A and B are shown apart, each in its own frame.
Chain A
Amino acid sequence: MILFGILVFCLVLGIIIGLQIPIAIPIIYVQYMSIGILAALDSVLGGFRAHLEGNYDNVIFLTGFVTNVLLAAGLAYLGDRLGVELYLAAIVAFGVRVFNNMAIIRRDLLKK
């Protein structure tokens, strides 16, 4: 429960930092960024869930985060090149996982 609070705090801190730093991604990459965000959200929720379940592995979490973000963005890019809306696959996959993870986290938290 403390970890959950820390995570929310870090998220808010990150949002504040992001709003303060003068960085804006080029408009063309907004789409890839949004999919990357989805992947990152999935990773965080997945990691938190694993932590709650007690089978958390730091290496798996970090590599999973990086590869998920890159894969999602790469998939979207490839889809753009090919004219196939491949990013939809990433959105569906990560979206489903986000919901699953959220559901499990909710149950785990309620169980405690």
Chain B
Amino acid sequence: MAKEIETPSSATEQKKKKKFWAGASLAVVSLILGIMLSVQFKTAEENESYGGYFRTSRVEMLTEQLQVLQEENQKLQSDLADAQTKLSNVRDENQALVDMKEELELAQMGSGAVALRGPGVILTVSDGQKITPGEDPNLQLVHDDDLLRLCNELKSSGAEAISINNERLIATSEIRCAGTTILVNWKRITPPFIIMAIGDPEMLESGLSIKGGYLEAMRYAGLQVNLQRIEDVEIPAYNGPFQFEYSTPVVAGGEEEL
């Protein structure tokens, strides 16, 4: 194992010993070097079996790529957070839109801008036929105030929508005598007057035909009155214009009052 050069001289005993240790050290170190080399070879070969993925340059490149991707990932994550916030905002806006639509529908129903259907009553009123001599024929006619009272009665009985001869009654609708005819929504209507109302049919019926009520009085007067409950009545929309020449909505607290 060690270098043994025969030098019989006794004076060189120490030198020989030194040489032995030198050889031993070099041998051991070269052994270690050999082990390191082969281990490295093995590892390199293993890398090669991965397609050389782990060569140092490759490692550096991948590290760089990883860093870039991580940065990108971070950016995308913040983008995602932004997008999610926006999405939730949009959802809120959508909710607001839905709320607004509901509000609008309600307002349209209330204002008479849309046709409505539902259970209710149909009340047909016509002029009396029996004309007894000596009696004022005027009493046999249906007057504007008759209709007005009937409509008022219907409203107080909980009618949600009323029409007279397909003229929807809205907030500004008038029922007014105009010579020989009656005006509703500035349109002439003639007998027979068909009043349709949506509401609880029972309530509407009983409200009209209550004893001593106006309907009874009309019957007594000889007018032809027919009250009929109906399961499904359709009331048309107000088809005139909504004109507000003098009115402007009052804005309170930045919100329009509906």
Contacts and interface: CB of A to CB of B under 8 A. Distances in A.
Are A and B a genuine interacting pair, yes or no?
Answer: yes
Contacts of B32: 14, 40
Instruction: Specify the main secondary structure of chain A where it touches its partner.
Output: helix
B22 interface: yes
A27 B54 contact: yes
A75 B54 CA distance: 20
A3 B3 contact: yes
A97 to B, nearest CB: 15
Interface residues of B, number: 32
A56 B26 CA distance: 11
Instruction: Specify the main secondary structure of chain B where it touches its partner.
Output: helix
A3 B26 CA distance: 9
Nearest to B53: A27
A62 interface: yes
B30 interface: yes
A15 B39 CA distance: 8
Interface string A33-47: 110110011011001
A42 to B, nearest CB: 10
Interface of B: 1, 3, 5, 18, 21-23, 25-44, 46-47, 54, 56, 59
11 contacts: A6-B1, A11-B31, A12-B34, A14-B34, A14-B38, A15-B38, A19-B41, A19-B42, A24-B42, A40-B33, A58-B18
